[in-house]
Structure 1
Amino acid sequence: MGCATTTVKISSILLNTLLALFSIAAIVLIAVNPGSVPDDWDIPAYIIFGLVIVFAVIGCVAALRESICLTVTCAVFLLLLAILQIAVTINILNDRHTQSGIAIVEDAWDHDKIDALQREYECCGKDSSQDYILLNRQIPLSCYEGQNDADANNIYTEGCSAKLQRYYDSETTSIAVSSWIIAAIEIIGFLLAVFLVINFRNKQRRMQF
């Protein structure tokens, strides 16, 4: 039993450390890519990942000190955070599924804001530079590499809709994978904490006799 408890303690510490590192990475990802989560969800995401870091640290301290109170607290909050994270992740993914890279390009095209997307994503038009030609419009400099139209070979050949949608799908997948991994680690951490509480209590009872 002692060996099993020690193994679970070490596993709990490693798992909580991994959880904290994942959460820090998620916070950095959101900070570096402001559009990676919907505007309404960026603050809740920061709060959730911040709480995960706090309770991951508490979990490590609880396991090292064999504190029943801290371990119970950590277990309860890990379970609540897992439930909250699952709910927030589902909402974020639903919000992203109602949007798309194509819709963003369409909106930018309709409101004459396509230049910024063309420069950022190195694309041209909605589907290609032909979109401008068909409308008898001059192809803007933002469609050219280095914004240099002196050489026709500098023009971006890929349309913004396809390129932005590919980027959008990749980003959504990254958010989903990282969020589900963290939620799974939280649930495993909760189960380990429950096991530790049971063993810590049994150890205290044995010491009383």
Structure 2
Amino acid sequence: MFVNFADISRGCAKTLLLVLNGCCILVALCTFIFAVVDTKILKEYGEERASGTFAGDVIIIVTCILLISVAAFGSVGAVKSDVRILYLYIGFLMIMVILELLIAIYVSLQRYGLEFKVSEWLRDDFFRNNTDDDVHSDLWDNLQITYECCGLNGPEDYLAIRKQISLSCCPRAYRARTAYAKQQLYRTCVESSTYYNDGCEDEILYALRADANWLVGVAVTSFWFEAAGMLLAMWVANNTRNEDSAYKQSIRY
């Protein structure tokens, strides 16, 4: 029995191309969710400090939608073995690669600048927190609970300015429902030194760097998926075109 290795190899290439497109869609969906959540987190730092980074997240969201559309378009071309769709898919992927490279550079620069702005804001705002301004007090309570930190560089910052360690540095006391429970748990927390020991500045900057590193990693991963997708699509398109040409010539003769 004769085995047509050309058809088998083309079928394997189509399957692999569909798998790669599925991976691209999955990566794009995860990045889309990350960007949406990140826009909400950035609001904590104020619009003036995070405006550029917020715009970067919006660009990422739009790019994710485009990548999902391109991957779906390429999948249709692979299933139908449509040469024109596959060539268009390759062209779209080339544009996406260039666009993602520019976005990765832009987002990295914005994140780097955001670190300086947030660090400066934290240092200025922490000392405002130690006045009677309830707005700033609530803000720092939220930051300390969210990032599991205490003070600017540690709980000793409160002691250095002759203030009591914030209640939000003791999570159990802060979450207690009654005033008496809060008081007792807070006293135990301070006496046993079980409050958060890390400073908020380091924790928040670490989170920003981790987000930036994750985005760069996604860009690199997407690049390899897209590069492999372009090569496979090119192979399938050329193979299909050559087979069609050979078939037409055999009919002609």
Output the TM-score relative to the length of structure 1.
Answer: 0.89
2:105, 2:16 → 1: CA distance?
Answer: 28
2:236 maps to a residue whose letter is L
Which residue pairs with 2:88 in the alignment?
A: 73
Structure 2 stretches lacking a partner, 5+ long: 1-5, 43-51, 130-135, 175-181
- Which one of the candidate residues 6, 10, 16 is aligned to 2:15? 10
Matched, 1:135 2:156: no
Shift in Å at residue 190 of structure 1?
Answer: 1.7
Residues 108 and 62 of structure 1: CA distance in aligned 2, closer, same or farther (over 3 Å): farther
1:38 maps to a residue whose letter is T
Larger mean CA deviation between 19-28 and 135-144 belongs to 135-144
What SS does structure 2 have at the residue aligned with 1:157? coil
Larger mean CA deviation between 149-158 and 174-183 belongs to 149-158
Which residue pairs with 1:205 in the alignment?
A: 245
How far does the alpha carbon of each residue in 1:148-185 deviate from its partner, in whole angstroms, 9 at most, with x for none?
42321342222112222332222222221122111221
2:61, 2:124 → 1: CA distance?
Answer: 28
1:182, 1:107 → 2: CA distance?
Answer: 39
Residues 183 and 107 of structure 1: CA distance in aligned 2, closer, same or farther (over 3 Å): farther
What SS does structure 2 have at the residue aligned with 1:127? coil
2:103, 2:120 → 1: CA distance?
Answer: 23
Which residue pairs with 2:122 in the alignment?
A: 105
Query: Higher Cα Rg: structure 1 or 2?
Result: 2
What SS does structure 2 have at the residue aligned with 1:99? helix
Shift in Å at residue 106 of structure 1?
Answer: 2.5
Which residue pairs with 1:182 in the alignment?
A: 222
Q: What value does the CA root-mean-square deviation take over the aligned residues?
A: 2.1
Residues 182 and 103 of structure 1: CA distance in aligned 2, closer, same or farther (over 3 Å): farther
2:210 maps to a residue whose letter is S
Residues 159 and 61 of structure 1: CA distance in aligned 2, closer, same or farther (over 3 Å): same
Residues 48 and 137 of structure 1: CA distance in aligned 2, closer, same or farther (over 3 Å): same
Percent of paired sites with the same residue: 22
Shift in Å at residue 18 of structure 1?
Answer: 1.0
What SS does structure 2 have at the residue aligned with 1:150? helix
2:71 maps to a residue whose letter is A
Output the TM-score relative to the length of structure 2.
Answer: 0.75
Shift in Å at residue 103 of structure 1?
Answer: 4.4
Residues 104 and 117 of structure 1: CA distance in aligned 2, closer, same or farther (over 3 Å): farther
1:8, 1:103 → 2: CA distance?
Answer: 53
Matched, 1:48 2:63: yes
Shift in Å at residue 90 of structure 1?
Answer: 1.4
Residues 55 and 182 of structure 1: CA distance in aligned 2, closer, same or farther (over 3 Å): same
Shift in Å at residue 111 of structure 1?
Answer: 5.1
2:232 maps to a residue whose letter is L
Shift in Å at residue 110 of structure 1?
Answer: 5.2
Residues 196 and 108 of structure 1: CA distance in aligned 2, closer, same or farther (over 3 Å): farther
1:155 maps to a residue whose letter is Y
Which residue pairs with 1:83 in the alignment?
A: 98
2:202, 2:237 → 1: CA distance?
Answer: 53
Alignment of 1:122-201 (within 5 A): 122-146=148-172, 147=174, 148=182, 149-151=186-188, 152=190, 153=192, 154-201=194-241
2:230, 2:90 → 1: CA distance?
Answer: 5
Structure 1 stretches lacking a partner, 5+ long: none
- Which one of the candidate residues 146, 165, 184 is aligned to 1:120? 146
